[in-house]
Amino acid sequence: MIDLRSDTVTRPSPAMREAMAQAEVGDDVFGEDPTVNRLQDMAARLLGKEAALFVPSGTMANQLSVRLHTRPGDEIIVEAGAHVVRYESGAAAGLSGVQTCWLPGTRGILQPEQIDAAIRPPDYHNPPTTLICLENTHNRGGGTIYPLDRIGAIRKVAEARGIALHLDGARLFNAVVATGIPATEYARHFETVSFCLSKGLGAPVGSLICADKERVVKLRRLRKMFGGGMRQAGILAAAGLYALDHNIARLAEDHTHAKRLAATLAQLPGVTIDPAHVETNIVVFDISETRRTADEVLAALKAEGLLLVPFSPTTLRAVTHLDASSDHVEQACAILKNVFTRLAA
């Protein structure tokens, strides 16, 4: 079975497992796990922030950031497809008591004017707008890269209105590798930046939040409150260090594979996709012209050995990753050709 449902399906390699087995550990709730501390230092350095905090998931990284920047009754501005409101089980409302303002983006990307217009004027009828969250790359947008000048323009709006910016950078390194723009250049526009080790970087568990020292102290306390304090977490952090040392540059291969899939899909009957929109490792395509539901097409692909996920009743998503070799991608292309040609017949 070729599994392109998500880049979360990657399994730790033998060398990564070896690094985990060798990890020096201590109690991280006491701040005494040397491997966690090394990972946090490395993450902070990579993003050009003073400090970083290791957390169990990207969801926790986002939600700790929401909690940090807001008070109950505040409003946060997000893009309508953002992970922080679409895939986190209502956590912003449930755990931070904030309401969310969803703005429609173009493949996930917002305009500064849109954000400026959505910020609430100070009036006691209004919830205070206290946070803007951006996502880079944007998952539901199809792996879209946030243009750096757009981020800069949004930063100006946020600063002028005294509002914090959080970056959900679950796949920030995909943007870094695709553009050649250093992570620090993206990160400097945000008070808090999160990224995932457990996606294309290939670690089994974990995310980091990077910020200034004072905010990281507060985040550390909130992490305890949310139940995310871990003990001998160095075993997991060792996988993260291995991932940052070995698996960043190779994300370029995943991008090449995604473009290969997109070029194949663009030729197939019943499929609509603009290959120019495939910027990183995510391929979203429309199947409405097959007149089949996403579930029917997924079942036909699965029967031939290819797993994808539905993104809507008429769109599917494929994600390339560390455990999908060029051979796997060629096989996936052959399966897509067979299935869509048959459905059209």
- Residue 154 CB, nearest approach to ligand PLP (Å): 17
Question: How many other β-carbons are positioned within 10 Å of the β-carbon of residue 338?
Answer: 15
Give the Cα separation of 2 and 101 in Å (integer): 38
Give the Cα separation of 46 and 43 in Å (integer): 5
Among 75, 168, 191, 253, binds ligand PLP (CB under 6 A): 168
Does residue 320 bind ligand PLP (CB under 6 A)?
no
Of residues 58, 109, 59, the one with CA closest to residue 79: 109
- Residue 15 CB, nearest approach to ligand PLP (Å): 23
Q: Using CA of residue 85, residue 91, residue 92, residue 94, what is the dihedral sign?
A: positive
Cβ closest to ligand PLP, residue 135 vs residue 286: 135
Among 170, 222, 301, 333, binds ligand PLP (CB under 6 A): 170
Does residue 205 bind ligand PLP (CB under 6 A)?
no
Does residue 142 bind ligand PLP (CB under 6 A)?
no
- Which residues fall within 8 angstroms of residue 128, CB to CB, at 6 or more apart? 73, 74, 75, 120, 122
Does residue 251 bind ligand PLP (CB under 6 A)?
no
Cβ closest to ligand PLP, residue 75 vs residue 135: 135
Does residue 110 bind ligand PLP (CB under 6 A)?
no
Give the Cα separation of 292 and 285 in Å (integer): 14
- Residue 207 CB, nearest approach to ligand PLP (Å): 6
Give the Cα separation of 14 and 115 in Å (integer): 46
Cβ closest to ligand PLP, residue 128 vs residue 142: 142
Stretch that binds ligand PLP, among 34-42, 142-150, 194-202, 238-246 (CB under 6 A): 194-202
Among 67, 83, 166, 189, binds ligand PLP (CB under 6 A): 83
Does residue 191 bind ligand PLP (CB under 6 A)?
no
Among 95, 98, 164, 196, binds ligand PLP (CB under 6 A): 196
* Cα radius of gyration rounded to whole Å, the chain: 20
DSSP per-residue string spanning 68-124: HH--TT-EEEEETT-HHHHSSTTHHHHHH--EEEEE--BTTBPPHHHHHHHSPPS-T
Cβ closest to ligand PLP, residue 57 vs residue 293: 57
Q: Which two tokens stand for residue 111?
A: 């305009």
Does residue 309 bind ligand PLP (CB under 6 A)?
no
Largest CA distance in the chain: 64
Q: Which residues would be at the binding site for ligand PLP (CB under 6 A)?
A: 57-59, 62, 83, 135, 139, 168, 170, 196, 198-199, 207
